[in-house]
Structure 1
Amino acid sequence: MATTDFPTRLKELGATLTSIEKVLDLEKMRTEIADLQEQVGAPDLWDDQANAQRVTGRLSALQAQLERIEGLRQRLDDVEVLVELAQEEADADSIAEAEAELGRLSASIESLEVRTLLSGEYDERDAIVTIRSGAGGDDATDFAEMLQRMYTRWAERHDYAVEVYDTSWAEGAGIKSATFAVKAPYAYGTLSVESGTHRLVRISPFDNQGRRQTSFAAVEVVPVLEQTDEIDIPEDEVRVDVYRSSGPGGQSVNTTDSAVRLTHIPTGTVVSCQNEKSQLQNKASAMVILKAKLLALKKAEERAHLDELRGDANASWGDQMRNYVLNPYQLVKDLRTEHETGNTQSVLDGEIDDFIEAGIRWRRNTEDAPA
């Protein structure tokens, strides 16, 4: 970057950040923080644990978001001062430092700008992600586990908490399915663009002739509900089955009938949970998942297209939204946004922010396009 670009770049980034501040309404955010802080200070806050967790979680998320925005504004002001001093003194090292900081700021502000596109009714919520293997035998179950690891690693990179509710292990390699929650502000709005069918092409490690194999896995993302959400499930509409947990977990998990499977009879929706030692805890967690899935179903039916919240879950040829090709060349490509990279290992290690951001922009452009 030439030094003559500094004024233009600083002006562009300043304008973008100002636009973000207006969209996110910082004064409203500060007012809500003050109100939540007052609620947190109430002596009876923890009499209602569910509400207390909601209040403290919301407060923490808003404070972090405000600090992030204010931090970016401060960094932008600081780099402007650095540029002025560096140019006055013709300090090449300081100019190089300013250029590097501008690059980092640009990436951070662009990422924050994507957040302003998440304005859906449930975008702020935590996400419940379900991955299911599709066509492809052992390669498909192995691929499903690869995707679970990819999303888990992505969450770890952002310091997001992940809670695994249920894992159904395959007889050979990998998993038949897995359900887990990603607990972070805007986790649902962010990850919802990952819903759909994912396709893997590689030399199969399970084929003794070393042939290339194509396999599929489906990803479904739904928002976690809050107490105020209107989803009432009559007891007689839910069948409860208990069974012994399988897979890793230790003796106390695997030797008792603590796992719970819930079936919503009217819709045929089935969820399960086996991560807790207590049958009661597993039932409560399974009910959280069931309500989230039923909300997704309800909203999708209201809009007359199920894919909007749940994504396409056929997990077969012709339905894929993203290809992961490991042989005969290395390429991960999103078929909706055309975003791609040849660094397949980094993607499978959780570096998927570029794909997610491209997906969010693509969705907004699709929504805004004239009918």
Structure 2
Amino acid sequence: MRSASSGPEPEPVGLTLVAGPEFSDELKSLDATMTSVEKVLDLPALRAQAADLEEQSGAPDLWNDPEAAQKVTSRLSHLQGSLRRVEGIRSRIDDLAVLWELAEGEEDQDTRDEALAELDKLKKDVEALEVQTLLNGEYDAREALVTVRAEAGGVDAADFTEMLMRMYLRWAERHGYKTEVYDTSYAEEAGIKSATFKVAAPYAYGTLSIEQGTHRLVRISPFDNQGRRQTSFAGVEVLPVVESDDHVEIPDDDIRVDVFRSSGPGGQGVNTTDSAVRITHLPTGIVVSCQNERSQIQNRASAMAVLQAKLLERRRQEEQARMDALKGDSSGSWGNQMRSYVLHPYQMVKDLRTDYETGNTQSVLDGEIDDFIEAGIRWRKSA
């Protein structure tokens, strides 16, 4: 079982005892893993894509279509960042071999310790890069639409749902990913009933899709005047953002559009016009809404984008169900009951699929969830 410490990072145990041949073997193994990662990522193809996008970004008429321009510049930035990351790690591996040779030649223990510390950091960085190569699903490279929704637990569930929304927004902020909140439905006493937001970053869907499922919180309820322990639940749904070539057609006759006044916490009105939009897809009963844009037109466009994403996911699930039926696959969904957050009587966050856990609950709720995501992606690939 993997676990994380609730305290500060411990010093690598026993690394200073590694002999020269052992260090060389570990470095060779790391070099081989990195070579495999580079092959899977196909660096020549990435460089060619980056060069093509650079040429597109220099076109004088690029910003005549702001949406297309944003996609070009965002994709270019991501590719350039990925290339810098891979090339930087490769350079560090090469430099480390030289550093260790220097330390051994001069029998300098301080330099040995520096090399050992760098080896430990490189192992973690290569492992994280290796996880990226596992995101090769049909929609993994897409941006993500995330919906958090209160389930059983009353006001505690609504409060927990708001905690989860904050966790994901903080996670995105830590990585420098742009987010856009489309809709927030506030609960009467505290927290939110639901919220939908977009994470605008390449591979956001592949990365965050591991978070889909039911999250459970156990704590002393701040809303119970008797101070009793309360268990509450919140659901997380993650969808890929629809792109222009997805062909998700929605006839006008298939939808009903209602407009209403946006509301804030406690039912307070946040504007004086009926600019919020609710769209009902009549054939499926799917309902989406958007109230966070400034105009009714913008809210309708955002709501339609969410509806298209839900219909795309529905189509994908139907196709997967047909494939599973052909394969005789009767396994249930892995997404349900996927993580527990225990704040009382002890502190622990545990993923019920991977067994990864940590006692540092506050850091997790502050958005430090990369270790859980990495463990989940590896688990999903091996399941």
- 1:157 corresponds to which of 170, 174, 188: 174
With 163-172 and 101-110 compared, the bigger mean Cα shift is at 101-110
Per-residue deviation, 1:255: 1.8
Evaluate the alpha carbon distance shift between residue 252 and residue 246 of structure 1 in structure 2; reply closer, same or farther with a 3 A threshold.
closer
- 1:55 corresponds to which of 60, 69, 72: 72
RMSD, aligned α-carbons: 1.9
Determine which structure has greater relative contact order: mean sequence separation of CA pairs < 8 Å that are 6+ residues apart, divided by chain length: 2
Per-residue deviation, 1:253: 4.8
- Aligned equivalent of 1:186: 203
- Aligned equivalent of 1:14: 31
- Aligned equivalent of 1:369: none
Q: Tell me whether 1:45 sits opposite 2:62 in the alignment.
A: yes
Q: Tell me whether 1:322 sits opposite 2:339 in the alignment.
A: yes
Q: Gapped runs of 5+ residues in structure 1?
A: 314-318, 367-371
One-letter amino acid of the counterpart of residue 56, structure 1: T
- Aligned equivalent of 2:105: 88
Secondary structure of 2:300's counterpart equals helix
Q: Distance in 2 between matches of 1:168 and 1:140?
A: 13
Per-residue deviation, 1:134: 0.4
Secondary structure of 2:238's counterpart equals strand
Secondary structure of 1:327's counterpart equals coil
Q: Tell me whether 1:114 sits opposite 2:114 in the alignment.
A: no
Q: Distance in 1 between matches of 2:306 and 2:75?
A: 20
Evaluate the alpha carbon distance shift between residue 145 and residue 243 of structure 1 in structure 2; reply closer, same or farther with a 3 A threshold.
same
Measured against aligned partners, the alpha-carbon deviations of 1:109-160 in whole angstroms (never above 9, x if no partner) come to: 1011001001001100111000000000110000001101111111111111
- Aligned equivalent of 1:276: 293
Q: Does the 8 A contact of 1:197 with 1:312 survive in 2?
A: no
One-letter amino acid of the counterpart of residue 339, structure 2: R
With 45-54 and 269-278 compared, the bigger mean Cα shift is at 45-54
Residue pairs, 1:147-226, within 5 angstroms: 147-226=164-243
With 175-184 and 336-345 compared, the bigger mean Cα shift is at 336-345
Evaluate the alpha carbon distance shift between residue 167 and residue 345 of structure 1 in structure 2; reply closer, same or farther with a 3 A threshold.
same
With 121-130 and 90-99 compared, the bigger mean Cα shift is at 90-99
Residue pairs, 1:322-361, within 5 angstroms: 322-361=339-378
Q: Does the 8 A contact of 2:169 with 2:367 survive in 1?
A: yes
Q: Does the 8 A contact of 2:349 with 2:359 survive in 1?
A: yes
Measured against aligned partners, the alpha-carbon deviations of 1:325-353 in whole angstroms (never above 9, x if no partner) come to: 11112111111111111211111111111
- Aligned equivalent of 1:254: 271
Q: Distance in 1 between matches of 2:375 and 2:323?
A: 22
Q: Distance in 2 between matches of 1:262 and 1:92?
A: 67
Q: Does the 8 A contact of 1:79 with 1:102 survive in 2?
A: yes
Q: Does the 8 A contact of 1:253 with 1:277 survive in 2?
A: no
| TM-score (norm. length: structure 1) | 0.92
Q: Distance in 2 between matches of 1:346 and 1:54?
A: 32
Evaluate the alpha carbon distance shift between residue 305 and residue 357 of structure 1 in structure 2; reply closer, same or farther with a 3 A threshold.
farther
Question: When the two structures are aligned, how many residues end up with a matched partner?
Answer: 356
Per-residue deviation, 1:260: 1.2
Per-residue deviation, 1:54: 2.0
- Aligned equivalent of 1:301: 318
Q: Distance in 2 between matches of 1:199 and 1:355?
A: 15
Evaluate the alpha carbon distance shift between residue 207 and residue 359 of structure 1 in structure 2; reply closer, same or farther with a 3 A threshold.
same
Q: Distance in 2 between matches of 1:206 and 1:300?
A: 39
Measured against aligned partners, the alpha-carbon deviations of 1:166-206 in whole angstroms (never above 9, x if no partner) come to: 11110011000011111112100000010000011111111
Q: Distance in 2 between matches of 1:185 and 1:110?
A: 20
Secondary structure of 1:120's counterpart equals coil
- Aligned equivalent of 1:242: 259
Secondary structure of 2:35's counterpart equals helix
| TM-score (norm. length: structure 2) | 0.89
One-letter amino acid of the counterpart of residue 126, structure 1: E
